[in-house]
Amino acid sequence: MRRNLTPMEARIVAVLLEKEATVRDSYPLSLNALCAGCNQKTAREPVMTLGEAEVLAAIEELKSLSLVNEVSGTRVVRYEHNLARVLGVPGAAAALLTMLILRGPQTAAELRLHCERLHRFADVSSVEGFLDELAEKEPPRVRKLPRAPGARESRWAHLLCGDAGLEAASTESAAGGAVDAGLAEEVAVLRAEVHELRGQLGRIAAALGVEL
């Protein structure tokens, strides 16, 4: 691949790969079906609102990169992806890249769950093995992100759009850490207030000769 993809281009390729596995009867996809897949409100992060004209323009760019092929011989023009061949990765790795593009950074366990319809991984360690291979490619195709405050596992992000997606993920992690810290501070304040109120109630009860 000669350059990084734009988020729109990455979304188009990922939707084609996803639909190849999930709606085989409709694949390759028409322009209308492709736009609908790109603009889905569920299982997409971020949600996009793409028009047919801009999707067509992106398709032309992807065709020049050999990532998308136009299928002839039908009454409606249809499109198919060529991701695995261009990147030189197996289907399992392509499935992981697809889910990272469509849903954003995820842990290995989340990827195993979300990839179920594209590729069934035996266990989480199998997912991690393919992720490690993608991270070791030149150039690397994924990166393991620093573990967010309070998180039990690290998340992975794709690099097909360069570092643009990583910056957003880092901002999200920092925001999540700030929220966690703020909640912890608020809980500590509330606990102190409850402790003080209990003390006051105890003193009042003692003055009145009432047993709590």
Greater confidence, 148 or 166?
148
Confidence band, pLDDT 50/70/90 cuts, at residue 199: confident
**Domain map (residue ranges) of the chain:** 7-158, 162-211
Confidence band, pLDDT 50/70/90 cuts, at residue 192: low
CATH number of 7-158: 1.10.10.10
The amino acid sitting at 89 is V
Judge whether residue 71 has pLDDT over 60.
Answer: yes
| Bridge partners, residue 144, by sequence | 156
Task: Give the residue-averaged pLDDT of 32-45.
Answer: 97
Confidence band, pLDDT 50/70/90 cuts, at residue 150: confident
pTM: 0.78
